[in-house]
Copies of this chain bind each other. A is one copy, B any other.
Amino acid sequence: MIKVAVDAIVFGYSKNEGVSVLLIKRKYPPFKDGWAIPGGFILENESLEEAVERELLEETGIKVNYLEQLYSFGAPKRDPRQRIISIAYFALVKSSMFQQLNASTDAAEAQWFNINKLPALAFDHKKILQTAVERVRAKIRYQPIGFELLDENFPFADLEKLYATLLDREIDRRNFTKKILSLGLLEDTGELAAVKGAGRPSKIYQFNKKRYQQLLKEGMHFEI
């Protein structure tokens, strides 16, 4: 009998630690004590998204803030025990949530790993994670999902660093600022970031989601 599971690649971001994914340590064989993407079987009466959210809560204690279906993986031998098809999702958590979990889950059963310093993964999870990273990297360029990784109010400089990290290249600050602000999706809160160490404090902005929905309907196209 074929079984169906959901798995979720959860991404978090902070200015200092870059982009990380949340992995869990397996308690039972196969791959006992190995790292894996959180997930589990779907219950009879829940939707796929509910299943993902439930499993994430059970296994890692987090609530995500953006969830999107990624791809379904169903090769016959991907699980050595029996045929399991996995419907994979990717999720984004806000920066403050990430740092909070980062502190509390450290050295526990669930742990954050920088996407450039990943451990060996169970099953075909390396491939799944790779697919998720590619999707996020590509998607951040034509949909405003970057804001889902930042706090409600964020320093403009953090946004720039996020893009530089994900796109893996330097960004011209003037051109980037010009482009982002010309979209008309950001609001200047008038506040300034609390600085640690030297340097001019960055302005604090917020993303106007309603305005984005509005402009979407009018045919606007987000693109960096």
Mark A residues whose CB is within 8 Å of B. 1-4, 42, 44-48, 69, 71-72, 74-76, 83, 85, 87
Contacts and interface: CB of A to CB of B under 8 A. Distances in A.
A83 B71 CA distance: 20
A69 B71 CA distance: 8
A4 B85 CA distance: 9
A2 B42 contact: yes
Given A85-B87, A87-B85, A44 B2 contact: yes
B87 A74 contact: yes
Contacts of A71: 69
Contact of A74 (B1, B2, B42): B42
A13 to B, nearest CB: 26
A75 B69 CA distance: 13
A11 to B, nearest CB: 21
Interface centre among A1, A72, A87 (most CB of B within 10 A): A72
A7 to B, nearest CB: 12
A2 B87 CA distance: 13
Contacts of A48: 72, 74-75, 85
A47 B47 CA distance: 24
A87 B69 CA distance: 12
23 contacts: A2-B3, A2-B4, A2-B42, A2-B44, A4-B4, A4-B74, A4-B85, A42-B74, A42-B85, A44-B76, A44-B83, A45-B76, A46-B76, A47-B74, A47-B75, A47-B76, A48-B72, A48-B74, A48-B75, A69-B71, A72-B72, A74-B87, A87-B87
Contact of A87 (B44, B72, B76): B72
A203 B54 CA distance: 58
A83 B46 CA distance: 10
Contacts of A87: 72, 74, 85, 87
Nearest to A44: B83
Contacts of A76: 44-47
Contacts of A2: 3-4, 42, 44
